[in-house]
Amino acid sequence: KRMKAAIEKVWEQMGVDHKAAITAHDAQCAVLLMQGVAKKQLPKKPKKGIKPKEVEMSESKPEIEGSDEDDDDE
């Protein structure tokens, strides 16, 4: 049950982060449109990540060494 609660907490945070990314994207697109950029040249919307599963959460070690997302302690 603790694992499921942790997954839900991570999922909710991913949703908040996604909404912030969408807001920033919309603002950027509005600026680009005012500058005369064609709509087909606008950047794509950020995609929401896949919902984490119990198996993924239990493996907390990052497999890719080049990833800078989780390297706060180095």
HEC string of the chain equals CHHHHHHHHHHHHHHHHHHHHHHHHHHHHHHHHHCCCCHHHCCCCCCCCCCCCHHHHHCCCCCCCCCCCCCCCC
Q: What is the pLDDT of residues 4-33, one digit of tens each?
A: 888 999 999 999 999 999 999 999 999 999
In the numeric block, which tokens belong to residue 59?
């493996």
The reported pLDDT for the residue numbered 20 is 97
pTM for this entry: 0.65
- pLDDT, tens digit, for every residue of 54-69? 765 455 544 444 444 4
Residues 46 and 22 sit within 8 Å (Cβ to Cβ): yes
pLDDT of residue 47: 94
| Mean pLDDT across 32-59 | 85
pLDDT at 60: 52
